[in-house]
Chain A
């Protein structure tokens, strides 16, 4: 007799025992279901599965989609595919790998580099995967291997599509490149659950647009179920799901303009970004020097890689996107906007513009670039002659808290949101930024000194922006505050339907500034190209209206009392030459920022590049200095004029 612990032991017990029985019967039933399933699979379907299991009887072959093309705004192809033969080996089907390779060498020209790459890939792949020993066989080589195929089990000649960038260096920093899928890419694909869609694919966008628009360009893999004989030859196709090709990209970029820009640069280093202020479309995007992206597609050999990496000119760095420089005097229009917006100065106030500026109670001289100074000037004149002392004083009077918010509205000091990865954000100096930047230093480094703002006023000091940010800022200024997000891709063309998906063409935001202030600063920038302005030479014989601002960014601080002497300084320490501009002034169709590294004064090096570019874009005339070596078709002005409502 149990101790009576239950309220109603019999009922409780009875209920519990019933439930036990229910549970037990349920378990047995479920196990019966399992057994039934096993009988179904292992007895009734045994033949079927046994056939399937006989390795290679039925194989699923992925059918690769064609990667989308990339073309410029006029449909000129910048990234294309072409078909070629590859020689591929399946290690698991080979009795003796080394002997086979040695035999193949007699038929095909296999370089040590091919062999190295093959060994590397072999380490990264499974034994039953097909690994290319040589890509791009000639027709003759392909035929030779095919004729001898019976001697080599596990050797295949396959037709594959290859990527090609016909404009090489010209597009390296825009398109980026595709490369072989490596361990890291594979992990990422697994994470994003895209592994299936990359079955049989060996390449993936690594940098530039090829990486950003990977999902569009790649398309969707198809597959074919084929029955094969024991030798691995396909007997018949059982089922086929066709692939969906990748979407094409149509850029806002104009490759002809890009080439003109490149030719105007010649061998100099630097960057140029041209934007259509009315759409945000990037018309030209150049970082000099470039590199040949074709080298990277099948894995770059170590010699070329070392050469690219150790080159002091750093061709691998995308200067337009990631290079941050002090903007020098090109910063002054933005400071002027801040001054007008905060009522720190009136449009007609005349103030001194002496040879040097000193802070109260300090002997340090902030010198003017014009050693005699400019006497006195109003704001417009100060922009025209680029008076440093005028702006030192103006910045000193305003203080950073009045400058930074307005300048920040132009997108300086933060990523613009262009459709490329790895954009640098630059630095728009503020008190908070300084405190954070030097957080690990002594208090005296973290503190904001009144003097800090002085050099910021002329675009030096902590200021540092990318050429892309400067171009974007000038485009917003030219468009009088209606701001677009800069984008390289104008539309994505769907491979299946042929429909275009436009990349955002609505304004991103509108700056809350007065129209007359925009007009005032724009007019002042226009006067820069008029007699008395720092870029007056550029204005000679101008067939359209153009506005701009020169800038010279110091790379090294010059000792007090010393005079800047470009020829005595080693090239790497010479000033950078800046120019920002837009045209036509009233309804701007193009805005540009150009920086030529270590080239000295803005007016001398960078400004002529902008003028040549505008001449070509607006009038269709190739600048005389480079007309001899242009590759692309000259621009037909008619279609261009029709494209705008000027």
Chain B
């Protein structure tokens, strides 16, 4: 079988056309790093690497399809997707699968899905669509409607209970409002009000969540329980030192001290083996991705494009920051994966969908 060079070239161009070069480069570097860490975290087993390659390829094709589409046509799907998302969340509420005391999954025979994950994309889409629709007749009460749109999925996810995801969904909604021009007065007022609400929220939290917060403030409070993981992951990071212990040499990791070491706490593994240098490198890579995403956002033509691209960018930042902050012991433990690095299919699909939409908005610049 012979492949003609010009065919290959045509194919290459077709694939490349909708993709954003700089973004692909930075993401590729992060992905390469992630394979290296995963190999170590999984005790040099290749099974998770294989899986990761498979679902990353799948996610990439979804991203490519989205990147080829016009933002306009993607936008029109916002209301149905949002509607389906809410319905699925209700279904979880009534018929969900419970794991470790929280009900987050729907059993679909072949696979389990986590509808709260869909909402991370569906909510900002819906809001951006909504503001785009009423762009020329904006009134203050549109913000109230938007607040209700945010509140519905948040309340459902909070009931599961999944505090971490609730905050992420709420944040993604807030970012849209921020970029469509929610007045500064309201933002600051909201912050003050939120501060005032803290005691109320504190009383609503489950005991285990309160313990997590207390543990964050002083992990030594509960060195055998909730504080144990944080203490261990801080030891992993700290003992990595400036240069790291070297690939595959993380003692904390390989002695089973790190919980969830291929998923939420993979950063501890990375930190221990690659040290401060590695951490700074990773943060720089994330900053590059974010800067490029910011440029795309800045060039967006429509209100929808601006709000959506901005929300995707900032959400991406929040995931990265919250995960690293949690592992480094400055934020409470919430189940947030490290973007593009943690092992896990669902989150990867969500991230690449976001990237696809971002590229689609970027391609719409003329």
Q: Say yes or no: B287 contacts A28, CB within 8 Å.
A: yes
Interface check B218, CB cutoff 8 A: no
| Cα A16 to Cα B301 with chains together (Å) | 12
CB <8 Å contact, A12 and B181: yes
Whether the Cβ atoms of B208 and A46 lie closer than 8 Å is no
Q: Interface residues of A toward B: which range?
A: 35 or more
28 sampled A-B residue pairs with Cβ under 8 A: A5-B135, A19-B181, A19-B310, A20-B179, A23-B178, A23-B310, A31-B286, A34-B321, A34-B328, A34-B330, A37-B330, A38-B237, A41-B237, A41-B238, A41-B328, A42-B271, A42-B279, A43-B242, A45-B238, A46-B239, A46-B241, A48-B238, A50-B238, A53-B235, A53-B251, A60-B224, A128-B255, A196-B226
Q: Is A17's CB within 8 Å of the partner chain B?
A: yes
Give the shortest distance, in Å, between A143 (CB) and chain B (any CB).
32
Q: Mark B289-305, 1 if CB is under 8 A from A, else 0.
A: 01100100110011000
Please tell me if the beta carbons of A46 and B136 are within 8 angstroms of each other in the complex. no
- Top 5 closest A-B pairs, CB basis? A49-B238, A196-B225, A53-B239, A41-B238, A42-B276
Enumerate chain A interface residues (CB-CB to B < 8 A): 2, 5, 7, 12, 15-17, 19-20, 23-24, 27-28, 30-31, 33-35, 37-39, 41-43, 45-46, 48-50, 52-55, 60, 62, 126, 128, 190-191, 193, 195-196, 199, 221, 223, 225
Given A19-B179, A42-B238, residue A31 in contact with residue B321 (CB < 8 A):
yes
Within 8 Å by CB of A23, from B222, B228, B241, B314, lies B314
Q: What residues of A have a CB within 8 angstroms of the CB of B275 in the complex?
A: 42
Q: Bits for B211-254, please: 1 = Cβ < 8 Å to A, else 0.
A: 00000000000111110100000111111111000000001100
Q: Which residues of B contact A38 (CB under 8 A)?
A: 237, 271, 276, 279-280, 328
**Could you tell me the distance between the alpha carbons of A225 and B275 in the complex, rounded to whole angstroms?**
27
A191–B100 touching, CB < 8 Å: yes
Find out whether the CB atom of B178 lies under 8 angstroms from the CB atom of A191.
Answer: no
Closest to B250 in A: A53
Would A49 and B239 count as touching, CB distance under 8 A? yes
Q: Which residues of B contact A (CB under 8 A)?
A: 100-101, 135-136, 178-179, 181, 207-208, 222-226, 228, 234-242, 251-252, 255-256, 271, 275-276, 279-280, 283, 286-287, 290-291, 294, 297-298, 301-302, 306, 310, 313-314, 317, 321, 324-325, 328-330
Contacts of A191 in B (CB 8 A): 100-101
Q: Given the complex, which residues of B lie within 8 Å of A45, measured CB to CB? A: 238
Rounded to whole Å, the gap between the CB of A243 and the closest CB of chain B is 12
CA distance A7 to B139 in the complex (A): 13
**In the bound complex, CA of A191 to CA of B181 (Å):** 44
User: Contact between A27 and B238 (Cβ–Cβ < 8 Å)?
Assistant: no
Assess the A19–B279 pair: CB atoms within 8 A.
no
Q: By the criterion CB–CB under 8 Å, are A225 and B223 in contact?
A: yes
A50: chain B residues within 8 A (beta carbon): 238-239, 241
A143, B242: Cα distance in complex, Å: 49
Which residues on the B side are within 8 Å of A23 (C-beta)? 178, 294, 310, 313-314
With A19-B181, A20-B297 known, 4 other A-B pairs at CB within 8 A are: A5-B135, A34-B330, A49-B234, A53-B251
The answer to whether residues A20 and B276 also contact, given A12-B181, A27-B317, A46-B239 and a CB cut-off of 8 A, is: no
CB A117 to nearest CB in B, in angstroms, measures: 24
Cα–Cα distance between A190 and B242 once the two chains are bound (Å): 36
Which residue of chain A is the closest to B320 with respect to CB atoms?
A31
Of A12, A35, A52, the residue contacting B279 (CB under 8 A) is A35
Looking at the complex, which one of A39, A52, A196 makes contact with B235 (CB distance below 8 Å)?
A52
Q: Which residues on A sit within 8 Å (CB–CB) of B237?
A: 38, 41-42, 49
A247 and B314 alpha carbons, distance in the complex (Å): 53
Min CB distance, B338 to chain A, in Å? Answer: 12
Nearest Cβ on chain B to A32's Cβ, whole angstroms = 9
From B234, B239, B283, B314, contact of A31 by CB (8 A): B283
**Known pairs A49-B237, A225-B223; A19 contacts B178 (CB<8 A):** yes
| Identity of the chain A residue whose Cβ is nearest the Cβ of B301 in the assembled complex | A2
* Secondary structure class of chain A's binding surface, majority of residues: helix
User: How far, in Å, is A230 (CB) from chain B's closest CB?
Assistant: 14
Contact A128 B208 (CB under 8 A): no
CA distance A223 to B220 in the complex (A): 12
* A46-B241, A53-B251 known; A223 vs B283 contact (CB < 8 Å): no
Q: How distant is the Cα of A195 from the Cα of B208 in the complex, in angstroms?
A: 12
- B251 contacts which of A30, A39, A55 (Cβ < 8 Å)? A55
A residues less than 8 Å from B276 (CB atoms): 38-39, 42-43
Distance A225 CA – B224 CA, assembled complex (angstroms)? 10
Q: Inside 8 A of A196's CB, which chain B residues have their CB? A: 222, 224-226, 228
Closest chain-B Cβ to A408's Cβ sits at a distance in Å of 34
Checking A7, A20, A34, A128 against B325 with a beta-carbon cut-off of 8 angstroms, the contacting residue is: A34
Question: Are B294 and A24 touching (Cβ within 8 A)?
Answer: yes
B283 adjacent to A35 (CB under 8 Å): yes
**Distance A195 CA – B222 CA, assembled complex (angstroms):** 12
Q: In the complex, what distance in Å separates the CA atom of A631 from the CA atom of B100?
A: 49
- Cα–Cα distance between A20 and B175 once the two chains are bound (Å): 11
Q: How far is the CA of A19 from the CA of B313 in the complex (A)?
A: 13
| CB nearest to A127 among chain B residues | B256
Tell me the complex Cα distance, A15–B182, Å.
Answer: 11
Q: Give the shortest distance, in Å, between A494 (CB) and chain B (any CB).
A: 22
| A55–B239 CB distance below 8 A | no
With both beta carbons as reference points, the residue of chain A lying nearest to B227 in the complex is identified as A196
- What residues of A have a CB within 8 angstroms of the CB of B224 in the complex? 60, 62, 196, 199, 221, 223
B239 touches A193 (CB 8 A): no
**CA of A126 to CA of B257 in the docked complex: distance in angstroms?**
12
Whole-angstrom distance from the CB of A198 to the nearest CB of chain B?
10
- In the assembled complex, the Cα of A60 lies from the Cα of B290 at a distance in Å of 42
Name the distance in Å between B224's Cβ and chain A's nearest Cβ: 5
Question: CB distance A27 to B290 under 8 Å?
Answer: yes
Q: How far is the CA of A30 from the CA of B223 in the complex (A)?
A: 28
Contacts of B252 in A (CB 8 A): 53
CB distance from B286 to the nearest CB of A (A): 7
Q: Which residues of A contact B136 (CB under 8 A)?
A: 7
CA of A405 to CA of B242 in the docked complex: distance in angstroms?
79
Given contacts A53-B251, A126-B256, contact A42 B294 (CB under 8 A): no
- Name the one of A7, A55, A60, A193 contacting B223, with C-beta atoms under 8 angstroms: A60
CB contacts (< 8 Å) of B301 on chain A: these are: 2
Least CB distance, A608 to chain B, in whole angstroms: 53
What residues on B are CB-neighbors of A27 within 8 Å?
Answer: 287, 290, 314, 317, 321
Shortest Cβ distance from B255 into A: residue:
A55
Chain A residue with the shortest CB-CB distance to B238: A49
Nearest chain B CB to A486's CB is how many angstroms away?
A: 32
* Nearest CB in chain B: distance from A184 CB, A: 15
CB distance from B289 to the nearest CB of A (A): 11
For the complex, what is the distance from the CA of A191 to the CA of B99, rounded to whole Å? 9
Would A34 and B256 count as touching, CB distance under 8 A? no
Residues of A within 8 A of B228 (CB): 196
Contacting residues, chain A, for B238 (C-beta < 8 A): 41-42, 45-46, 48-50, 52-53
With both beta carbons as reference points, the residue of chain A lying nearest to B241 in the complex is identified as A46
- Cβ–Cβ < 8 Å partners of B321 in chain A: 27, 30-31, 34
| Of the residues A16, A24, A35, A126, contact of B280 by C-beta under 8 Å | A35
Which of A2, A16, A30, A54 has most B Cβ within 10 Å? A16
In whole Å, how far is A305's beta carbon from the nearest beta carbon of chain B? 32
